[in-house]
Structure 1
Amino acid sequence: MSFFGKNIKKIRGVKGLSQQAFADLFNLKRGTLGAYEEGRSEPKIETIIMIANYFSISIDHMLTAELTVNQLLRFNDELTISPDDLEREKFACVPCITPNNASEYLQYRENDQFIEDMPQLSLPINLEKEFIAYTVDSLEMTSRDEGLFPKDIVISERVPTAVIPKLNAGTMVLAITADQFILRRMYITGKKLILRADHKKIEDVTLELTQIKELWRARYVFYRRLPEIANDISSKMNALQQQMEELRKLTS
């Protein structure tokens, strides 16, 4: 694998270009550029030549070694350093499953180009692990008006097949089969996976482990509304303040 991806990412940082702005310069898709930078695919030679010529960098330098900022500045005096953009490059781009693309994901989930073209969330999470975002579309994970509601987004980490039996009982997972997405708590009995909703009136789903195409462990949640816990804290603070006022009156 060449150093092309790392080098164009470095060029973007020094030049102060977003992925979209850089991609637009060379008529590329942002997802395609992201795949180059992450080493998931290699560009055509025509693309390499076009980018190398544009920034006055030799193809040899682009492909065989990781360029330094000082080297880039020597190659092209017009390049400028933008520390803020360099910092943002540490954010991970997470593909997001939405109601609009869910059915297509089931069909094309192994197609790298489809994954690259999905809507992406930019998040400050572990760059070395694989994540996916899922838009909640039901009330299955609610209980007594708490939990996950439609349009909340769950960020989940891929679980290798060998690790699935080691997950703790009750772990919230996104299980993907050949024809459905199931966001529930997971319990394992033998070679079967029991997926249980938080909503008490929803029946369990039992699957063979072999039916699971992908399993993702829930790690983070974006709520469409403020969680109820915020109201609980506010109420407790108000109650505490009232008690302190009463104590002051008694001691004055």
Structure 2
Amino acid sequence: MSLFGKNIKKIRSVKSLSQQAFADIFDLKRGTLGAYEEGRSEPKIETIIKIANYFSISIDDILTKELTVNQLFKFHAELEGNPDMIIKKKFTEIPCITFEDHNNYINLASNANFINDLTPIALPIKSDNKLRAFVVNNLEMTSENNGLFPKDIVIGEWTPKSDFEKITQPEIFLILTKDELLLKRIFPSNNAFILKADHAGIEESLLPFTEIVELWQIKYVFHNRVPDIKDSQVLNKLAYLEHEFKKLKSSL
């Protein structure tokens, strides 16, 4: 009879795992695990391999040697000290338009090699659409001490032209035309968008759908400081109300 049952009982003790918790990890019934520990039955080879691999213990050791507490702590220490055994999660890499890339992007946005050479930002973001990062380079989307400041990074999600007419709320977008790369709040207006900055004193402009090369709806923002989230939400509401008020005023 192997020492498997005795060893897994000791492993449970060192790892502070109940029989149920240990059984759940390996899709076993608690009664089955109890039978292993008491020597009333022997596990299948697949179960032995799974448990041995999970705790980084050789199959020979777990079956034929009585493991000591010191050995089990040693296995744990080796795991922590070995970077090759650490499971590294793959984050989504997003091409980022930096200050230096701003002007080149206007001319080379359709060039796949240029996009691949942009500095990537790796973030735990999942999206079915293409993503683009942009380093803010002016104060146009600020209002007093709030908003987007230079060196803040925004992440935009691709908006196809077929969805332009579905945009109804004054959200912030990264907009590429043949001549400019803009970060503005947009409002729908008969096959065109009204582009508005949050900074006071900057005039609105009208941009027809036909002049838009790329449109990226800003979904994530990474600030160089701790922002006031409540103030950001208020800005969105104020921008919408201001736009509706202007529409009402022009209809009178």
TM-score where L is the length of structure 1:
0.56
SS at structure 2 position matched to 1:99: coil
Q: Is the 8 A contact 1:97 1:134 kept in 2?
A: yes
| 2:184 and 2:195 in contact (8 A); partners too | yes
Q: Deviations over 1:9-37 (max 9, x none)?
A: xxxxxxxxxxxxxxxxxxxxxxxxxxxxx
Q: Which amino acid aligns with 2:218?
A: A
Would the aligned equivalents of 1:184 and 1:197 in 2 still touch at CA under 8 Å? Answer: yes
Structure 2: distance between partners of 1:191 and 1:168: 12
Matches within 5 A, 1:102-113: 102-113=102-113
Residue in 1 aligned with 2:122?
Answer: 122
Aligned to 2:209: 209
Instruction: Tell whether the 8 Å contact from 2:168 to 2:188 is kept in structure 1 after alignment.
Output: no
SS at match of 2:128: coil
The answer for unaligned runs of 5 or more in structure 1 is: 1-79, 231-252
Give the 3 Å change call, closer, same or farther, for CA 170–127 of structure 1 in structure 2. Answer: closer
For residue 81 of structure 1, report the CA deviation from its aligned partner.
Answer: 7.0
Matched, 1:223 2:226: no
Change (3 A) 1:200 1:119: same
- Written as runs of structure 1 = structure 2, the 5 A alignment for 1:134-173 is 134-173=134-173
2:100 alignment counterpart: 100
CA RMSD of aligned residues (A): 2.0
Alignment of 1:5-154 (within 5 A): 82=85, 84-85=87-88, 88-89=89-90, 91-154=91-154
In 2, Cα distance between equivalents of 1:100 and 1:183: 16
Deviation at 1:97, TM superposition (A): 0.6
One-letter code aligned to 2:183 = L
Q: Percent identity?
A: 38
Structure-2 separation of matches of 1:158 and 1:199: 25
Q: Equivalents in 1 of 2:205, 2:134: separation in Å? A: 19
1:175 partnered with 2:175: yes
Q: In structure 2, what is the Cα distance between the partners aligned to 1:227 and 1:105?
A: 28
Aligned to 1:74: none
TM-fit CA distance, 1:200: 2.0
Give the whole-Å Cα distance in 2 for the aligned partners of 1:124 and 1:222: 13
| Residues 1:84 and 1:143: Cα distance change in structure 2 (over 3 Å) | same
Report runs of 4+ in structure 1 exceeding 2 Å deviation: 80-83
| Per-residue deviation, residues 170-210 of structure 1 (Å, max 9, x unmatched) | 01111110111111111111112111111121111211110
Q: Is the 8 A contact 1:92 1:127 kept in 2?
A: no
Task: Provide Cα deviations, 1:201-245, integer angstroms capped at 9, x if missing partner.
Answer: 111121111000000000000101121459xxxxxxxxxxxxxxx
Preserved contact between residue 140 and residue 198 of structure 2 (Cα < 8 Å): yes
Q: Distance in 2 between matches of 1:226 and 1:131?
A: 24
- The Cα of 1:149 is off from its aligned counterpart by 0.5
Can you give the 5+ residue segments of structure 2 that lack an aligned partner in the other structure?
Answer: 1-82, 231-252
TM-score (norm 2): 0.56
In structure 2, the residue corresponding to 1:84 is in which secondary structure? coil
How far did 1:108 drift?
A: 1.3
Which has more radius of gyration?
A: 2
Distance across 1 between alignment mates of 2:229 and 2:185: 21
Letter in 1 for 2:87: D
